Chains A and B, each alone.
Chain A
Amino acid sequence: MTRLLTCLLLFLCAGPVPASGTYQTPEDFLAETFRDNLPAAQVLWLKGDIRETSTAIMGHRYPAIRVRYWLQDTRSAWILEETGKERPITTGLVINAQGIERLRVLIFRESRGWEVKHPFFTDQFPRIQLTAERQLDGPIDGISGATLSVRALKKLARLALYFHSQVVTSNDAAP
């Protein structure tokens, strides 16, 4: 029995140890999103109404003075973070005129709530848009035991949709 357990343990532990929880780097996410045509990064300052609304969406002050985004026509990409249970979840989001185009967990640093990094969860987000009350306009079914991670990603989805509405409006209005 002991020998069997030892073999099982060695089998389970076999293999290289990758970088902890990095599934795709932000750079690779952007390269994949824009292919060979990565636009220059722009900056959205979180002040005034934008600061107030982002705080209302997140339930707390988003911990940044500004956020970078990449905008091509009416398609924007964002790299945002929110804490799940204890550690931040780094998430890449692409928004287009139809709403969320893609949501991908880039870096996941916790052992609980792991389900949210997989496509069987994140595939719920495409085509979701923001309502007038700044809520998601479609259901996102949760994962039992991963409530805080699910909550974090839903907030980031709302935030990215809101930010997109701010930058597309301002860029469209620019002379």
Chain B
Amino acid sequence: MKHTSVLTMLMAIAITSPATADKLPSPEEMWKIIQQQQKEIEALKKGQQAAVKQAADADEKAEAAVVAVEESAAGGSGGNWADRTTIGGYGELHYNNIDASDPANDNKEIDFHRFVLYFGHEFTDDIRLFSEFELEHALTKDTSDGSGSGEVELEQAYIEFDLQDNLQARGGVFLLPVGILNETHEPNTFYGVERNDVENIIVPSTWWAGGAGLSGQHANGISWDVAVHEGLEMPTSGSSAFRVRSGRQKTSKASAEDLAYSGRLRYTGIPGLELAASANYQSDASQMSGDGLDSGLLLEAHAVLEKGPFGLRALYAEWDFDGAAVAAADADKQHGWYIEPSFRPFNSVGVYARYEDIEGARTQDRFDQWEVGVNYWPHEDVVLKADYRNREHDLASDAGRDFDAFDLGIGYQF
């Protein structure tokens, strides 16, 4: 009873209080407020519908723009010139610190050994140009005796035709299908600051020639290459007599009196394994008859194994020349071999050891050599190298050329 009385009293105060009665809108005012709010709601709805339509329009335009970009990027042989042209290259700087038995043969040198640019162009899906332009030893001077240290060379320039899906023909200047390094020698792809001496002296890498060739590949992993091309023009006198490397004509007004023929059989049907054998026949290795150097035959075989962190390279190459003069000079049989185990525990670091044994034409090219070193790849296309070499010559008369060497190198490809 007491509570009810208090409540009734409070209600009476609220109803009769002049201030409360003023705040409450009248029914007419309430109706106006409701109508105003209804108008605002209608306006908001219209605005929302317009915004949704705008968003849909924007979506449609964005989709059209993306489709246009995607179609433009589709490229192919129908694309513009830039889409069908590629530029690449590689380079390497060497530091050699050679400490020879005879100090007169010591050598400390820094040399930008190779600066190479590739240019490629696709004329159609089936016809393409590949070219390689090289500057060796940073500069070249035109000296009367040709003794300038640098060289500017056109190492490759050929047109390749796809005759069938797995059959190509090429014509121009190209790398001969022989050895491990001859076709793949970007610095980040091999161990050691300097390329191995067996392929340098015996193969002789890098070896290129002008001619024509055919290549085929099979689904079982077997591939083959044949080529006919300019031959060697080996000197038969002087300090480089019968030296194979000195016989490379480099397709510079090359004599084509006596052509040469190359063939290779290669197996890469097991990932991590390459087995290959090559033959090169020179119909006359000096391009001149009657000088005591006639035909020559190179046989080369190699194996490359890369399984997990372990790697192994092994190669044997042998030249057999006919001719009285080359036989008299004890240069009719030139050969070499090497073996190179490696271990790459991380993607960025690898270590290796190499043993090579070479019997070249000159006595200074008859030696065996041990080498150990490390490659560090801060990026897959950049490499820093360090190695130690110990070379011992076969003949006592060349003992002064024996050396220990420490080398550093930096290389890249792009």
Contact = CB atoms under 8 A, between A and B. Distances in A.
Interface string B94-123: 000000000000000000000000001010
B154 interface: no
Contact of A140 (B220, B270, B271): B271
A143 B180 CA distance: 13
B183 A145 contact: yes
B378 interface: no
Given A114-B223, A121-B271, A143-B274, 20 more contacts: A9-B214, A12-B163, A12-B214, A13-B167, A20-B162, A21-B165, A65-B69, A66-B66, A109-B125, A111-B160, A111-B215, A115-B269, A118-B219, A118-B269, A120-B220, A120-B270, A124-B271, A139-B308, A141-B306, A144-B304
Interface of A: 9, 12-13, 15-18, 20-21, 59, 63-66, 86-87, 109, 111, 114-115, 118, 120-121, 124, 139-147, 151
A9 B228 CA distance: 13
A111 B70 contact: no
B315 to A, nearest CB: 12
B89 interface: no
B66 A18 contact: no
A8 B198 CA distance: 34
Interface residues of B, number: 42
Candidate in B73, B88, B219 with the most chain A CB atoms within 10 angstroms: B219
Nearest to A146: B268
A124 to B, nearest CB: 6
Nearest to A9: B214
B61 interface: no
Contacts of A17: 126, 162-164
B214 A141 contact: no
A145 B162 contact: no
A124 B308 CA distance: 13
26 contacts: A9-B214, A17-B164, A20-B162, A21-B125, A21-B162, A21-B165, A59-B380, A65-B70, A66-B66, A86-B86, A109-B125, A111-B160, A114-B223, A115-B221, A115-B269, A141-B271, A141-B306, A141-B308, A142-B271, A142-B272, A143-B272, A144-B274, A144-B306, A145-B183, A146-B268, A151-B380
